[in-house]
């Protein structure tokens, strides 16, 4: 009997890459909280994951002149509308960014915990424990 790791891990490896990219965007937002005209960016996790699951045709670069395959995460960064716009046209709201950053860290940790438990279960099944 073979183990299908794609089915065993489900969408969590993809989710981890999305959480990681979101962490980068949120950290960039926090780093630019005082930069005039900076626009806060974020990801719509649900839309990215839905798009990744709907992708059924694997795309490949077959010729050297073809463009590389980009991740759907790269194209999905959206600008966030501020609740209270600042006078210098910066859309970063520090409190909101900290909240989103903490929520993202929690989601990332939950996915890591799920994957870890799944690996422990697979290891136990392989050993026959």
Dump the DSSP string for 78-128.
EEPPPSS--TT-----HHHHHHHHHHHHHHHHHHHHHHHHHHHHHHHHHHT
Helix (H, G, I), strand (E, B) or coil at 77: strand
Q: Any idea where the domains of the chain sit in the sequence?
A: 10-127
> What pTM does this model have?
0.71
More confident residue, 58 or 13: 13
pLDDT surpasses 70 at 75: no
Tens digits of per-residue pLDDT, 43-64? 987 788 676 555 544 556 666 6
Tell me the H-state helices in 32-93. Answer: 45-54, 72-75
Mean pLDDT of 11-24: 88
């Amino acid at each position: 009997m073979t183990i299908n790791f794609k089915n065993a891990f489900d969408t969590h490896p993809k989710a981890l890459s999305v959480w990681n990219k979101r962490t980068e965007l949120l950290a960039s937002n926090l780093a630019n909280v005082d930069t005039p005209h900076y626009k806060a960016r974020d990801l719509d996790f649900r839309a990215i994951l839905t798009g990744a699951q709907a992708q059924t045709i694997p795309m490949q670069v077959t010729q050297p002149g073809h463009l590389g395959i980009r991740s759907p995460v790269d194209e999905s960064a959206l600008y966030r509308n501020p609740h209270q716009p600042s006078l210098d046209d910066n859309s970063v709201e520090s409190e909101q960014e900290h909240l989103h950053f903490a929520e993202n860290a929690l989601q990332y940790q939950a996915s890591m915990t799920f994957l870890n438990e799944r690996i422990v279960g697979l290891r136990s099944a392989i050993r026959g424990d």
